[in-house]
Structure 1
């Protein structure tokens, strides 16, 4: 007898994060306006101290800062990002030339800061190096021995510190934005997985519950039609059994609806439920025996999930016997142990090759049992009957089975 136990991601070269999860980065909106305000106040204070507050030079200085602020509000997109950054650099140089306080040179840090968000780390570092080189060139043109002047050296060191802080802030901001995007993606995946799990659970319930009862109704109605002419009493009993199965199907539907609205499922009286299943199958053509050893588990929580899993497994196994096995004898043995419970359903029917079965029944048994940490074994071969063994631990996860 045969026995069976039942996309690549591209990394970003600049940030090292997955291109599939990286969100479009955008500069921190409050950094540039705050820096512009500080430069404006410093420049106006210096102009007032020099007596040049009402001059065209100061007005041009203010207009340049306002234009820079407008450019900051212009969204950056790849086709025009380089041009906008270039325009900002030119305006910053012009504003710095008009600023009596000298603080406007600090605006240079905004160029690599913004470039970090648009072009990535490499381009930002290159622009930062270009800004330092440009400042050194201006210092050299203004005073070839600038390195001996503490004021020049101090300004250069402040620029370097500003660039380091700006680039660090950009890196942290991009990491935070991408981290948030990844969390949103993971949340969406979890929602999809939860929806898939719920669909699978509903599919198992429909297959195991309604499928079983509708099969019973169909068999009983066929029996009623076959016996109508020569055994009216047997036909009437078959119709009554079909009506009973239809009522059980309706009851199961109501139970499922209540379970969807309330997670607190009532404990299952498994011995009684199994006896009812056996009674439905034992119609005179199939002899069914039921034996229960040990004390059934009681209570809510994991015990309920275990009992439901065992019941659904027995229900599906007996439904398969009714549909496919053409068996004469079926035995159902349920054993409750201290640590686990075992269900064995065996028949002397036609059997099958387990690997060749593609239906949903055995798959549903396997899925349910796996969710509570159990195992399923199917022993069968053509002409040799079938034996299904389901073993589940007494305690474990509490899935929606």
Structure 2
């Protein structure tokens, strides 16, 4: 019985160890009727009152798990009355049910107090019936058996409550884990939609604006812009299919590096912006073949280039991918208008980059100033092979 069992039991099963009380009532009823039959007193009023008391106790037992104090007091009175009417003497064992029930309803302190009360009631009954009861081995033996029964009842109640509290905590933890898993999945879907579909929709919008601007005086450039918009729409559809395939298959192939970033760089080269890509090292040797880190780097490059297209007003952009022995590093630098990192609120894109990197133990750095361009650095540590773990 630990210190934590002092309060009412938390929500759980409707009646822990529900078979204990009815079994005791049935045993006492059989023993009482057997004793009454041996003394030819089955048809007497005391025996009828004894049976009625047992039935009332069974009725009270079918009540709520947390009975009011009045019900608990009525149970104690009925047990004392049944014990006085029982010729077998076994009814005194029913006293163990009082602290047992109180433990579930009111906690350990109330159960211990009622245990003392039960012992006091038995001592009072002994004294009234036999003033020198302490000299009779039978009375002493009955008292010791009652004390053992009370201890066992309290122990059983403590174990049942401990098990119920443990189950409640496990259910709470399971619900919390499920909620966190759902939140993480929602965040992941939000990042994929923002970084993937958002990037391609931005490209389509820019290309259609270019087509509208050049339609009157350079139809060839306008047609090329429309063709680029169609190509971006196809890439958007492919990206959606890749994301859906990844949702359905945990072992779906990752975004290929460096081929996928090369496509992003080519897409950005629209005449206004000159973009270059540099790749050093082998990505799969540095990051492992599971695809999580590769996808994070691809999405980071995708979002960084989308921001360049939308906000930077840059002329030159460099994308550098370095796969080293300890980590992989992505650097996207432009010569655009720049900004003050502390003075501008972070959008969903940069937040998604930081979340992806943090989940893999990586870091994200943003170096920018008004008029000095922007440099975004994403570094993800090398995956540790199982043989090295």
Give, in whole Å, the separation in 1 of the partners of 2:123 and 2:295: 78
Aligned to 1:7: none
Alignment of 1:43-82 (within 5 A): 43-77=32-66, 81-82=68-69
Matched residues in 2 for 1:248 and 1:48: separation?
Answer: 93
The alpha-carbon deviation at position 365 of structure 1 amounts to: 0.2
Aligned to 2:201: 214
Which runs of structure 2 are paired with 1:94-105 in the superposition (5 Å)?
Answer: 94-105=81-92
**Per-residue deviation, residues 58-115 of structure 1 (Å, max 9, x unmatched):** 333222212211110022556xx11111111111111111211101001011111111
Q: Match of 2:372, SS? A: coil
CA separation of 1:203 and 1:322: change in aligned 2, threshold 3 A? same
CA distance change for structure 1 residues 309 and 326 in 2, over 3 Å: closer, same or farther? same
The answer for the alignment partner of 1:110 in structure 2 is 97
Match of 1:147 in 2: 134
In structure 2, the residue matched to 1:381 is: 369
Secondary structure at the counterpart of residue 352 of structure 1: coil
* Contact 2:333–2:373 (8 Å) recurs in 1: yes
Q: Report the Cα distance in structure 2 between the residues aligned to 1:173 and 1:311, rounded to whole angstroms.
A: 54
Aligned length: 382
From the superposition, tell whether residues 274 and 27 of structure 1 become closer, same or farther in structure 2 (CA, over 3 Å). Answer: closer
Select between 260-269 and 103-112 the one with higher mean Cα deviation: 260-269
Indicate the residue corresponding to 1:246 in structure 2.
Answer: 233
Offset, 1:216: 0.3
Provide, for residues 342-361 of structure 1, a one-character-per-residue CA deviation record: whole Å limited to 9, x for no partner.
Answer: 11111111111222232111
Kindly state the Cα deviation for residue 143 of structure 1 after the two structures are TM-superposed. Answer: 2.3
Which residue pairs with 1:8 in the alignment?
none
Per the normalisation by structure 2, the TM-score is: 0.93
Q: Distance in 1 between matches of 2:56 and 2:140?
A: 30
Answer whether contact 2:360 2:380 (CA < 8 A) is retained.
Answer: yes
Instruction: Classify the secondary structure of the residue corresponding to 2:98.
Output: helix
Tell me how far 1:319 sits from its aligned partner. 0.5
The worse-fitting range, judged by mean Cα deviation, of 68-77 and 155-164 is 68-77
CA RMSD of aligned residues (A): 2.2
Q: Deviations over 1:105-158 (max 9, x none)?
A: 010111111111111111111111111111112222222222121111111111
Secondary structure of the residue that 2:93 maps to in structure 1?
helix
* Residues 266 and 300 in structure 1, CA contact (< 8 A), matched pair in contact too: no
* Selected match of 1:39 from 24, 28, 32: 28
1:3 equivalent in structure 2 = none
CA distance in structure 2 between the aligned counterparts of 1:153 and 1:301, rounded to whole angstroms? 76
Mapping of 1:354-369 within 5 angstroms? Answer: 354-355=341-342, 356-369=344-357
- 1:393 counterpart residue number: 381
What is the CA–CA distance in structure 2 between the aligned matches of 1:351 and 1:192, rounded to whole Å? 39
Distance 1:201 1:135, change over 3 A: same
Return 5+ residue gaps in structure 2 as ranges: none
Work out whether residues 99 and 115 of structure 2, in 8 Å CA contact, stay in contact via their aligned partners in 1: yes
Mapped partners of 2:287, 2:187: distance in 1: 23
User: Per-residue displacement from partner, 1:347-395 (whole Å, max 9, x unpaired)?
Assistant: 1111112222321111000001111121111111111111111111231
Residues 344-363 of structure 1 mapped to structure 2, 5 A cutoff = 344-355=331-342, 356-363=344-351
Range with greater deviation from structure 2 (236-245 or 147-156): 147-156
Gaps of 5+ in 1: 1-12
User: Following TM superposition, by how much is the alpha carbon of 1:213 offset from its aligned partner in structure 2, in angstroms?
Assistant: 0.2
Whole-angstrom CA distance in 2 between matches of 1:53 and 1:313: 89
CA contact (8 A) 2:33 2:42 kept: yes
Corresponding position of 1:6? none
Given that residues 281 and 322 in structure 2 are in contact (C-alpha distance below 8 angstroms), is that contact kept between their aligned partners in structure 1? yes
Are 1:350 and 1:383, in contact at CA under 8 Å, matched by a contact in 2? yes
Q: What is the aligned partner in structure 1 of residue 265 from structure 2?
A: 278
